[in-house]
Amino acid sequence: MLPFTAEDLKAVRAETFIEHLDYFESLASTNSWALHTHCTPSPSERETSFPALVLTGNQTAGRGRGNNAWWSAAGGLTFSLVVDASQLGIPLEKQPLIALATGLAVCETLARQAPEHTLQLKWPNDVFIAGKKVSGILVETSASQPGLVVIGVGVNLNNSFLSAEAELQSLGTSLYETTGQKFPLAPTLIDLINAIENRLYDVAGDRGELMPAWRRYCLLTGRDIRINTGRETRAGTCLEIDDQGYLILQTEDGRERIISGTIEHF
């Protein structure tokens, strides 16, 4: 049985803001496909209407931040949204909030699916349940078309980590493994897309609702952490994630405001 039927795909188009949909039974990376296919140098060369969705039932070479890979197996939910930030009213300086908005949308959606379990956000773009990673987000832009943003989402929904490497089994989990329940792929995808849309409009509208909601799920607040910024590694206590999406780190030298990085220890 295919993960997504023709009726499923029809429902996705009808019940979300998606204008264009590419579906593959198997694909190496939805983000790579989206970047290479939809983020062409010139708008005149594109025939795609945005937002566009790239969806696969089986991602074989998913990518995470930096050099990380995204492990997935049958039953997982992997997709990429291609949005035109200017069309949504999101200026260039606010694009860093897109990853946080997406993470919050995923976290809130999964929290509704598993109300008896604790969902948390690890800055900047990981979703945790019961202390293990259940979802990751990878946001990328094209150098030639910075207004187009590719939002890659991987959710461990109905898959099992029994086939994963031992190291991954200790770090990750799925909604199924945590709750003991199976979840319908297409309705969950529709809920996720609609939640992401709503949070993207929060970024555009500057209503001050995004980051207070994000901080309610923050996994790192008050924890001693080590963060690699790409230039150096810093250690200290995470005080909060501020309204611009920066991590506020209390170090021996004082407070530091960090725009991006990889949490190496928490």
pLDDT at 70: 62
∠ CA 9-154-262, nearest 5°, is 155
Nearest CA to 8 among 19, 23, 20? Answer: 23
For domain 6-216, the CATH superfamily is Bira Bifunctional Protein; Domain 2 (3.30.930.10)
Q: Assess contact for 26 and 57: CB atoms under 8 A.
A: yes
pLDDT of residue 227: 97
User: What residues does each domain of the chain span?
Assistant: 6-216, 224-265
The average pLDDT across 233-240 equals 97
Who has greater pLDDT, 127 or 42?
Answer: 127
Question: Is pLDDT of 206 > 90?
Answer: no
Q: Supply the DSSP symbol for 145.
A: -
- In sequence order, the 6+-apart residues with CB closer than 8 A to the CB of 9 are 21, 23, 55
Residue 225: pLDDT over 90:
yes
pLDDT confidence bin for 65, thresholds 50/70/90: low
User: What's the confidence (pLDDT) of residue 162?
Assistant: 76
Residue 1 pLDDT > 90, yes or no? Answer: no
The region, left, alpha or beta by phi > 0 then psi within -120 to 50, assigned to residue 260 is beta
CATH of domain 224-265: 2.30.30.100
pLDDT at residue 62, as a whole number: 63
Q: Residue 255 corresponds to which tokens in the numbers above?
A: 């407070």
What separation, in Å, do the N-terminal and C-terminal C-alpha atoms of the chain show? 41
pLDDT at 187: 97
> Which of 55-69, 102-116, 210-224 bottoms out in mean pLDDT, i.e. has the lowest?
55-69
Place of tokens 């963060």: 227
The answer to whether the beta carbons of residues 79 and 196 sit under 8 Å apart is no
